[in-house]
Amino acid sequence: MDTRESLEEEVLGWLDEEGDTSTVRTNVRNALGTAHRQRLLETDWPFLLWPEPQTFALVSGQKNYALHSEYGRPLYFRNVTEDKDLVEVPFRNYEPSYTDEQFRFVLWNRSPVAAHPSSASPLSIVSSASGDTSASRAINVRGMTADGMASEAIAPNGTTPVASTNTYLPGGLIRVSKVGTWTGTMTMTSNAGAVTNLKLLAAEKARTYQQIRMLWTPSAVDEIEYQFFRNPTSLDDDDAVPDIPFPHSGILVWDALLLLAAYDGRIDSARKAIWSDNQQRMDLAMRQAFLDGQSLKAEPAQIHEIDD
């Protein structure tokens, strides 16, 4: 099983920098992180598919809904109450003619909260740990009020709720972020606790939620089911395991080396050619393993260009 540390050592070996603890290792670490994100964001890899479908209920008169915090790309959306698939409309086709056309939607902007206030309301924050106090652990908020955009820092008081100074309008929150690292989980609510706006774990600074906007005004409490590909995880520590399954995770070595080639003036064209060839071979093997059918009677999925 590859880890960030084992991949680092392999990259450093190719650079003749085994055991380095200086800037070279930092650059290798950054290159691996960049390669990991780029590789995973380029297509719908099945190993990033969220294990279970998610659901939410339509609310009468409400068009916008926040999706799962790990949402990256969609697989499908379906109205299970009506037993009918929802149809995505790209922004370029978002026209007034689609207004009130049922079963159509657009993927809207991202929101810093899972739910906005249902009506004009102050916000309230509280921690699950009594030690989370003072301005050094404040929650920074920016959003729309009746008087325009406003910002403030809400200092927590442990397990005692603290209210915001401002009253925020529905759909108006554009930034919620944490200062410092907390001991407990932060919970933000509004509308006298009726709406849970956001929860942040101890080490989380912020979250964003992809929103979906219905192109009709719902009147029934239908259940919407969706399945999605999650976002890549970060290679934050030495023991972090890449999202790419082993042994295909080894492609990150060649991706990182090629990212570093422009940085290190000692790298000659012959070595870059070897790294590029190894990258292409691993890329083909990875796509055949995860994007093509492998079993007997599998249907072809795509055509690969092997050589130019």
Judged against a pLDDT cut of 60, whether residue 73 lies above it is answered with yes
Question: Does 286 lie in the same domain as 159?
Answer: no
Residues in the chain: 308
Domain residues for the domain of 184 are 121-207
What is the Cα–Cα distance from 215 to 176, expressed in whole angstroms? 27
Of 51, 79, 173, 72, which is closest to residue 122 (Cα–Cα)?
173
122 upstream amide cis, omega within 30 of 0: no
Residue 297 placed within a domain = no
Checking if the pLDDT of 308 tops 70, the result is no
pLDDT for 179:
93
30 in the same domain as 166: no
**Could you tell me if 219 and 86 lie in one domain?**
yes
pLDDT 10s digits, 54-68? 999 999 989 999 999
The reply to whether 258 falls in a domain is: yes
Q: What is the helix (H) or strand (E) element at residue 166, kind and residue range?
A: strand 162-168
Contacts of 246 (CB under 8 A, 6+ apart): 1, 2
> Could you give the residue ranges of the DSSP H alpha helices within the chain?
4-14, 23-41, 251-260, 269-290
Residues 129 and 186 in one domain: yes
Task: Kindly write down the DSSP assignment for every residue of 1-50, as one continuous string.
Answer: ---HHHHHHHHHHHTT-TT--SHHHHHHHHHHHHHHHHHHHSS--GGGB-
283: helix, strand or coil: helix
pLDDT higher than 70, residue 220: yes
217 and 201 belong to one structural domain: no
The closest alpha carbon to 132, from 199, 182, 200, 181, belongs to 182
**CB-based contacts of 173, cutoff 8 Å, min separation 6:** 111, 112, 113, 116, 117, 141, 142, 143, 144, 197
133 and 185, same domain (yes or no) = yes
Please indicate, yes or no, if residue 162 is contained in any of the structural domains. Answer: yes
Pair 126, 183: CB distance under 8 Å? no
**pLDDT the model gives residue 304:** 55
pLDDT in tens, 291-304: 887 788 777 666 55
pLDDT of residue 101 exceeding 80, the answer is: no
**Residue 270: inside a domain:** yes
Mean pLDDT of all residues in 225-234 = 96
125-136 burial, b for 16+ CB within 10 Å, e for fewer? bbbbeeebbeee
- Looking at residue 21, its pLDDT comes to 81
**300 or 255: whose pLDDT is higher?**
255
The more confident residue out of 267 and 304 is: 267
* pLDDT for the residue numbered 165: 97
Q: What is the pLDDT of residues 141-181, one digit of tens each?
A: 999 999 999 999 999 999 999 999 999 999 999 999 999 89
Classify residue 308: in a domain, yes or no.
no
- pLDDT recorded at residue 102: 83
What pLDDT does residue 266 have?
Answer: 65
pLDDT tens digits, one per residue of 28-42 = 999 999 999 999 999
pLDDT at 307: 58
**Average pLDDT estimate for 102-120:** 93
SS3 270: helix
**Structure-block tokens of residue 241:** 């395991």
Does some domain include residue 306?
Answer: no
* pLDDT of 20 higher than 90: no
Residue 286 lies in a domain: yes
Q: What proportion of the chain, given as a percentage, has pLDDT over 90?
A: 76
- Residue 125 and residue 16 in one domain: no
Query: In the predicted model, what is the mean pLDDT of the chain?
Result: 91
Give the residue, 94 or 121, on which the prediction is more confident. Answer: 121
Counting the structural domains of the chain, the total is 3
Identify whether residues 128 and 56 lie together within a single domain: no
**Does residue 246 sit in helix, strand or coil?**
coil
Question: pLDDT confidence of 269, banded at 50, 70, 90?
Answer: confident
219 and 96, same structural domain? yes
219 and 80 in one domain?
A: yes
Residue 165 sits in the same domain as residue 200: yes
Let me know the angle formed at the C-alpha of 252 by 251 and 255, rounded to the nearest 5 degrees: 90
Give the pLDDT confidence score for residue 39 in this predicted structure: 96
Has residue 43 got a pLDDT over 70?
Answer: yes
Structural tokens at position 40: 């995973």
Pair 77, 226: CB distance under 8 Å: yes
| Same domain flag for 37 and 63 | no
